[in-house]
Amino acid sequence: MTVDVLGLLAGLVGLLPLGAGILLVTGVWRAFRGVLRLGVAMFTGMAGATVLLPPLIYAGLAPSVPLVLLAGLLVLAAGVYLERRRRREREESGVGLELVPALFIALPLAVLAVRAVLKPDGAFDAFANWGLKAKLLYFSGGGLIDHHIFDPTFATDSLAPPVERVYPIGLPSLEAYFIHTMGGPDFRVLHLMFVAFLAGFALTAVALLRPYVGPWALAAGTSVVLWMPAARDQALSQNADVPMACLWVAAVILFGLWLARDQGRWLALGAVFTAAAFATKREGAIYTAILMGLALVAVLLASRRDQLRPLILAGGFVAVTAVPWRIFIAVHGLTGHDISVSPARISEHRGELPMIVRELARLLADPLFLGVVPLAVATALLLVLFGHDRPLAVGFLLLVGAVLLTLVVVYVNSRPDTRYLLRTTAKRTLMTPALLSAAILPLLLTRLFRVPVRQ
């Protein structure tokens, strides 16, 4: 087990060139320093690999260590070249990790890492979908993949595991890379990859929000994220919900920074994280549309026509990264087995709508989620009422409302029994609004009480 742990840690180090390269290419590298820069680079490397590996796999390449290192070095070289050509009026000092947030981040992550190694296995869905696909990709070899790997295992629409062939393969690709670094599939140790997702998300949230939120408020916010029972349980289930939530919420914060500061580098990095969320789970496509749509509305309402072109380019980048996956689904006629949107199904299940809303509301108020969504919504409503930072508050309310409405529509269109689906999936599908609320809550409270921020 020790060798596998060292292998997984080496895999995280192997993602640093890709992550650092993306930060350099997008122009964000100088915005952070020290440990915080390292953490953001690791998280960005995980996001970049989630986007980059699937099309390479469709092209016949294995998600192997040499491939990831080569891709990382190429992106890093491009980033260094672009960084040297940029003209800067002044040198950025960069945001660093202060002692208080560092301690509040390190303790829950250490406890979760120990629990991850001791936990024997993940949830059935993880085993039958993402984990199984990752093992199939790993056993296909470390060089060129035999294209028959997709037939029948990947390309046949079947109820046999892996059940959901229609799911994107971003997460299985990343898992397969880590299995290569470990030298074989050890899913107990692979739990640590999901701990790394939470760690990267927490560090990235601190890095992005520190100019607007004090260290104590950020420490409290990261504690809510990292001690939240639902987040800790779902991370170690090895399902894709926590990774997708981490990636998408990071994208939301980056889009918000772009709208507030009108600096294209935040939008560019946000597009990478949006594409990674898109490549992780089917809901990522819907959440991407929500984020892009609300960003477009914000630009139009602010009459910032100069921001339209970069936003369209960002949306185009995300769409292009999804093309190989969509082509693969269309060519093989793959469909989902859990959800199928249709007027007939909506009509059939409309009587269950009150039950769906009631169950989701009950869970959001459950101690599993620490009541973070109702608290953040109440804080945002107070901001609107008192006229403080209304764009921030309204934007958050629209985002969380759209995500919750999406979940209601999903459950209304369920193929299996709705009660069964709610019982088995609601705790993990609610991770996205919960992490969004937990990440933004320190900023909302800072603005509500007008707390001065000292750098």
* Cβ 242 vs Cβ 230: under 8 Å: no
Residue 242 shares a structural domain with residue 125: yes
Residue 349 shares a structural domain with residue 326: no
d(CA 265, CA 323): 24
Residue 384 shares a structural domain with residue 451: yes
Residue 313 shares a structural domain with residue 432: no
d(CA 322, CA 167): 12
Residue of higher predicted confidence among 416 and 272? 272
Note the Cα 74 to chain centre separation in Å: 24
Residue 405 shares a structural domain with residue 355: yes
Q: What pTM was estimated for this model as a whole?
A: 0.95
Q: What is the DSSP string of 347-404?
A: HHHGGGHHHHHHHHHHHHTSGGGTTHHHHHHHHHHHHHHHTSSHHHHHHHHHHHHHHH
Where is the domain boundary, 331, 353, 375?
331
Reply yes or no on whether the pLDDT at 338 is more than 70. Answer: no
At residue 341, the pLDDT reads 65
At residue 367, the pLDDT reads 95
Q: Give Cβ neighbours of residue 249 (< 8 Å, ≥ 6 apart).
A: 201, 205, 432, 435, 436, 439
Residue 114 shares a structural domain with residue 248: yes
* pLDDT band at residue 406 using 50, 70 and 90 as cut-offs: very high
Within a domain: 286: yes
d(CA 42, CA 202): 12
Residue 284 shares a structural domain with residue 371: no
How many Cβ atoms sit within 10 Å of the Cβ of residue 87?
Answer: 4
Where is the domain boundary, 331, 359, 376?
331
d(CA 329, CA 153): 13
Residue 156 shares a structural domain with residue 257: yes
Residue 310 shares a structural domain with residue 389: no
The secondary structure of residue 416, as a DSSP letter, is S
Where is the domain boundary, 275, 299, 331?
331
At residue 145, the pLDDT reads 59
How many domains is the chain partitioned into structurally?
A: 2
pLDDT 10s digits, 249-301: 999 999 999 999 888 999 999 999 999 999 999 889 999 999 999 999 999 99
At residue 122, the pLDDT reads 75
Residue 370 shares a structural domain with residue 289: no
Residue 253 shares a structural domain with residue 386: no
> 90: buried, middle or exposed (CB in 10 Å: 19+, 13-18, 0-12)?
exposed
Residue 435 shares a structural domain with residue 320: no
Reply yes or no on whether the pLDDT at 148 is more than 70. Answer: no
Reply yes or no on whether the pLDDT at 230 is more than 90. Answer: yes
At residue 234, the pLDDT reads 94
Expressed as residue numbers, the domain containing 298 is 2-85+95-331
